[in-house]
Amino acid sequence: MKYTDLIENMGNLPQYTLHGSPNNNLTLDQIQVYNPNGSKQNKKGKIYGGFYTTHPNDITQAQKYATPTGSIYKININPNAKIITKDGDITRLSQEVIKQYTNDGYDIVTGKDPRGYSEYAIINTNIITSIEKINNV
């Protein structure tokens, strides 16, 4: 399904998602699917990826990821981005899974985090049209 189809299916979903980050100066060129410096998600010798965002209605989720001193960003998405819905937790998408989805033409994986909140894991950063800081936490 295209991102625009998701918008239609979910009602009034804007063509953007939210990202909370401790980085107060995040720019489009800094967004990566894989963090070369590792992260808390990289465990047991495996590499996981995805640039995680949340639904605009879940701004409190973005605030949690921003930490007390970070910022929230509006991530504008190309309406033709292709999205796949994955059942269950999408917190740790392996390199293999991401490669398979991108080979199949997908740009975003949507699903739930461990607490049941909707997440959007961007696996193709080329579908991000712009990034805009909307506030400091």
76-108 tens-digit pLDDT: 998 889 999 888 778 788 889 999 999 999 999
Identify the pLDDT of residue 45. Answer: 64
Mean pLDDT of 60-71: 89
Mean pLDDT for the stretch of residues 14-35: 88
Phi, psi torsion values for 125, nearest 5 degrees: -70, -10
pLDDT at 61: 87
Task: Say what the pLDDT of residue 25 is.
Answer: 94
As a whole number of angstroms, the distance between CA 113 and CA 1 comes to 21
Residue type, 31: I
Task: Tell me which residue of 93, 75, 76 sits closest to 84, measured CA to CA.
Answer: 93
- Of 63-67, 69-73, 85-89, where does the model show the most confidence? 69-73
pLDDT: which is higher, 40 or 27: 27
Query: At 59, which helix (H) or strand (E)?
Result: helix 59-66
Q: Kindly report whether the global pTM for this prediction surpasses the value 0.75.
A: yes
The two structure tokens encoding residue 90: 């999408």
